[in-house]
Amino acid sequence: MVSRVKIRELSDVTGVTVATLKYYLREGLLHGGAATAVNQADYDESHVRRVRLVRALLQLGRLSIADAQLVLAAVDDDSIAIHDAFAVAQDAMVPARDRSGPQYAAALDEVVAFVRRHRLQVRPDAHVLEMLADAVVTMDDLGFSDALGTPRLASFDGLLEMALPIAEFEVASTRDDITRAEQMEYTVIGTITFEVAYAALRRMALEHASAIRFGSRRKPRRTD
């Protein structure tokens, strides 16, 4: 537990340089410490935690500063109901990009139909729909769907069926004995960390499957 330390020690504890901490302060990503003198302030456990959250958003989640500010505002604003704050945070976690053109519009229609068919309680204007449409456009561009020899929507059905019980378990595991801000933090961190973790596990599975099909076909090493 950290109580009332200088910025130098906050840097030591979090592994984030003093220059970067000052940048976080200037950008409003980190709340100020308790002023003790001109240009002197004390920081506490809340700052340690926030620095780690900011780092997770920027590095692991690769959010822009502007999007990280949106997420943190939703975490901090007690007047926003938790489910609405969740929506703000989810939207900010989808990178902005040019999504004009008929090809993108068709992909988005396909995604909207998918959401309806599964009767998902997802906002019709949720940015995550655009994220899935991005993937669909790229699959179409490169003829990937055909190559896989299976209808794309069938594989999306299968992936969603896997994701739903995990999401339900994850949301159900949210503890009730923590503050709203902590609940929001967990939601954001859970979204980002499990996304990276699952992507990594899937890539490991791909390398394993590729080794078996294209590699030297050596036996896996025994681990005893």
Q: Which is nearer to a second copy, 39 or 149 (CB)?
A: 149
For 170, other C-beta atoms within 10 Å of its C-beta total 14
Binding mask 78-117 for a second copy (x = CB under 8 A): ---xxx--xx--x--x-x-x---x-------------xxx
Residue 77 CB, nearest approach to a second copy (Å): 15
Under the criterion CB under 8 A, does residue 71 sit at the interface with a second copy?
Answer: no
Which residues ranging from 22 to 41 are in contact with a second copy (CB under 8 A)?
none
Q: Does 202 bind a second copy (CB under 8 A)?
A: yes
Pair of tokens at residue 65 = 């500063």
Rounded to 5 degrees, what are φ and ψ at 82?
A: -60, -35
Please select the residue that binds a second copy; options are 20, 69, 76, 156, rule is CB under 8 A.
156
212 binds a second copy (CB under 8 A): yes
User: Does residue 109 contact residue 80 with C-beta atoms inside 8 Å?
Assistant: no
* Piece of 4-12, 25-33, 57-65, 70-78 that binds a second copy (CB under 8 A): 57-65
Give the residue among 53, 58, 44, 54 at the shortest CA–CA distance from 10: 44
Query: Binding to a second copy by residue 11, rule CB under 8 A?
Result: no
Do residues 166 and 132 touch, judged by C-beta distance below 8 A?
no
Q: Is 179 in the site for a second copy (CB under 8 A)?
A: no
Q: For residue 178, which amino acid is it?
A: I
Q: If you search the block for the tokens 């390398």, which residue do you land on?
A: 207
Which residues 6+ apart lie within 8 Å of 153 measured at CB? 110, 114
Site for a second copy in 113-152 (CB under 8 A): 115-117, 119-123, 126, 128-129, 131-132, 134-136, 138-139, 141-142, 144, 147-150
Residue 53 within binding range of a second copy, rule CB under 8 A: yes
Instruction: Return the amino acid letter for 163.
Output: A
Tell me if 107 sits within 8 A of 137, measured CB to CB.
yes
Binding status of residue 187 toward a second copy by CB under 8 A:
yes
